[in-house]
Amino acid sequence: MSTAQDGAAVPAVGVVMGSDSDWPVMRLAAEALAEFGVAFEADVVSAHRMPDEMIAYGARAAERGLKVIIAGAGGAAHLPGMLASVTPLPVIGVPVPLKYLDGMDSLLSIVQMPAGVPVATVAVGGARNAGLLAVRILAAADAELRAKMERFQGELRDQAHAKGARLREEAARLGG
């Protein structure tokens, strides 16, 4: 983890969202990053409501030391794509579900990017996976972080084995 002159960790990941109303979903990305000890920042950056600030955030992200941007938005979710158009960094888009349309509007707005401007889109509400994907991107060049990810994957495998064992026991009790 790199540190600034004042000793504070320089964020490697920017977790941004169109509104603070997205935070209950986007918090899951932040929690995943915290689990792996990845320094991040979180903020509201809206393409629709603050276009100049949004362009500035994307344009300056790499020079500020960010390595990955996670962008969540709901409805006409232009934020992830617009950020991807002004930064060379990988952008992970999180479709946030709103009251109407079950997040399908957010999903389609984020996933249907024109050729040449990729956004790695996770499932509707899939902010935890966005955080884990950001960890994997960083881990590609960080052996310590990769080892943590491998341990995490091992825990998932153990949990799946335990689920199978419980299910087989229950099926056996039913006479299966």
Ligand X SMILES: Nc1c(C(=O)O)ncn1[C@@H]1O[C@H](COP(=O)(O)O)[C@@H](O)[C@H]1O
125 binds ligand X (CB under 6 A): no
Least distance (Å) from ligand X to the CB of residue 99? 10
To the question of whether residue 22 is assigned a binding role by annotation, the answer is: yes
Chain positions 1 to 30 lying near ligand X, rule: CB under 6 A, are 17-19, 21-22
Query: Quick one: which of 27, 48, 136, 148 contacts ligand X (CB under 6 A)?
Result: 48
If you ran DSSP here, which 8-state letter would residue 22 be given? G
Position 130 contacts ligand X (CB under 6 A): no
The CB-of-91 to ligand X minimum distance in angstroms stands at 13
Amino acid making up residue 54 = M
Q: How many residues sit close enough to ligand X to count as binding (CB under 6 A)?
A: 18
Q: Which residues pair with 3 in a beta bridge?
A: 9
Instruction: Count H helices and E strands in the chain, helices first.
Output: 6, 5
- Closer CB to ligand X, residue 56 or residue 162? 56
Residue 73 interacts with ligand X (CB under 6 A)?
yes
First to last CA, the chain: 52
Q: Does 49 bind ligand X (CB under 6 A)?
A: yes
| Residues counted in the chain | 176
Nearest approach in angstroms of CB 68 to ligand X is: 19
Task: Give the separation between CA 176 and CA 174, rounded to whole angstroms.
Answer: 6
| Amino acid making up residue 16 | V
43 annotated to bind ligand: no
Q: Which of 96, 119, 127, 137 binds ligand X (CB under 6 A)?
A: 96
Q: Which residues contact 12 (CB under 8 A, 6 or more apart)?
A: 1, 2, 38, 39, 40, 65, 66, 67, 68, 138
| Span from 3-11, 44-52, 131-139, 157-165 in contact with ligand X (CB under 6 A) | 44-52
In the bound complex, what is the minimum distance in angstroms from residue 19's beta carbon to ligand X? 3
d(CA 80, CA 148): 28
Q: Give the alpha-carbon dihedral of 18, 20, 21, 27, to 10 degrees.
A: 100
Which residues line the annotated binding site?
19, 22, 49
User: Rule CB under 6 A: which residues touch ligand X?
Assistant: 17-19, 21-22, 46-49, 73-79, 96, 98
